A = this chain, B = another copy of it.
Amino acid sequence: MADNLTSRKQDYSQWYNDLVLKGGLAEHSDVRGCMVIKPYGFALWENMRDVLDRMFKETGHQNAYFPLFIPKSYLSKEASHVEGFAKECAVVTHYRLKNDPNGGGVIVDPEAKLEEELIVRPTSETIIWSTYKGWIQSYRDLPILVNQWANVVRWEMRTRLFLRTAEFLWQEGHTAHATKEEAVAETVQMLDVYAKFAEEYMAMPVIKGVKTASERFAGAEDTYCIEALMQDGKALQAGTSHFLGQNFAKAFDVKFADKNNNIEYVWATSWGVSTRLIGALIMAHSDDEGLVMPPRIAPLQVVIVPIYNKDAEARQRIDDKANALVKELRSQGIRVKFDNDDTTRPGWKFAEHELRGVPVRIALGARDLENNVAEVARRDEKTKESVSLDGLIAHVTNLLDEIQSNMYNKALKFRNESITKVDNWDDFVKTLDDKGGFVAAHWDGTAETEDKIKELTKATIRCIPLNNEQEAGTCVLTGNPSAQRVLFARAY
């Protein structure tokens, strides 16, 4: 199996595609830019979604559902929002097909033209705030803490499975508050939820920070983000949480009466993560043998592979033991499969489960049973050991925890080693080219410099880290004074 995979060194981008396709996560569909998420990939997304959904509910949010379509005019109501989102979107102009009078298939019925075109939602601020107008009259109606799990469409010209697709799945939280302080606190709270999810479940360390003005969400006053580092040294924005000020409340005229009966505009936040996280997960952990899944969200945590010989009785003993193990592991809440498929051999199965990144593999043969042991292999370090069947369940439970933290620590070490402080332009360019990763450098705070650096190096300011150390210095490009370093990187 692994023989057919491109290695990271050979061609990182092809390696990534190989893992997505051969690992059975997703594939391209016949519709340009749209992917099919296959059962294994969707099971991963379900696990991620379920954890996030629980975290959202624990922080007081409820789910709701808003229309897929947005009237074209709504996009224009918030001035900077339309600039960001009107460009590349799917536009519904008609509502009926009819038989082609010239024979053959069907054609769009010219009589069925919509009065106002509808946009397939690229994000839902506008349709949701037009709805909130009906929900909010008084401070008693606030806060509104709503999340939506949905599909969205952005007509990207260059697409990559999970990382950038025309249609993708995501969640978008949209909250409404009586005060600025409360809205800012919500924005930061949800950033913390995302960071916790990325680090504790995806085993992926992230840097929490704020975007510069040029990198802000269209319509936001502040965009907070978590930035992760991929193995090729490129950064990836893994989640964003926006403080929207009163921009959408003003655009859709959403006001409320406060306790003193003053009429005020409502304060807003929005925050989202998407199936893009799956791309991040792959590039943060996987290796040249295939995917490496963190146990806490792995679709399958343990696979048991029988090593049959020709003895039917021995075979029966192996099956009995394997089925008993499956039962015990399941009772511990572990996702386990007994792979007793007769049409493939153990070696093929080993490679297949390695490719799919199953954290723990247990191999069970007749000789093992006689010795009361099983062979336990861990995917992350590709080591194996013989373990007594007596303590196997506890061993596996601990091993899953150990793999989870080992994956995180490994990624953290790599990430930390990939942050380089530089103080002059030559080092800046050289570091980006030779080492990659995050470059911590002084910047004069202007959009012009930011643009110029991007133009010269393709590196962008990923974020100004939260609680950033204040340190006087001079801009790496212009030499102008600067009060702090910011993190630059080339990014997905």
A residues in contact (CB < 8 Å) with B: 27, 29-31, 34-39, 41-43, 45-46, 62-76, 82, 86-99, 104-106, 108, 117-120, 127, 130-131, 134, 140, 146, 150-151, 153, 155, 167, 169, 343
Contacts and interface: CB of A to CB of B under 8 A. Distances in A.
B67 A36 contact: yes
Contacts of A97: 72, 75, 86-87, 89, 91, 119
A169 B105 contact: no
Contact of A140 (B42, B76, B343): B343
A167 to B, nearest CB: 5
A20 to B, nearest CB: 14
Nearest to A39: B62
A83 B70 CA distance: 28
A82 B106 contact: yes
A87 B92 contact: no
A146 B62 contact: no
Contact of A155 (B37, B89, B96, B99): B96
A65 B88 contact: no
A315 B65 CA distance: 38
Contact of A31 (B70, B91, B104, B105): B70
Contact of A108 (B36, B88, B117): B117
A31 B127 CA distance: 9
A134 B73 contact: no
A169 B65 contact: yes
B106 A95 contact: no
A207 to B, nearest CB: 30
Given A42-B65, A67-B34, A97-B86, A105 B91 contact: no
Given A64-B36, A65-B42, A153-B68, A108 B96 contact: no
Given A41-B64, A43-B62, 13 more contacts: A27-B134, A31-B67, A31-B69, A36-B64, A42-B65, A68-B120, A68-B167, A76-B105, A86-B98, A86-B106, A88-B96, A92-B120, A97-B119
A106 B122 CA distance: 15
Given A31-B118, A39-B63, A64-B36, A106 B169 contact: no
Given A38-B64, A42-B65, A67-B36, A30 B127 contact: yes
A93 B97 CA distance: 12
Nearest to A30: B130
A75 B69 CA distance: 22
Contacts of A75: 97, 105-106
A67 B29 contact: yes
A134 to B, nearest CB: 7
Contacts of A117: 108
Nearest to A107: B72
A90 B88 contact: no
A108 B156 CA distance: 17
Contacts of A70: 31
Contacts of A343: 140
Contacts of A34: 67-69
Contact of A105 (B72, B88, B93, B98): B72
Residue in A64, A65, A74, A90 with the greatest tally of chain B CB atoms within 10 Å: A65
Contacts of A153: 68
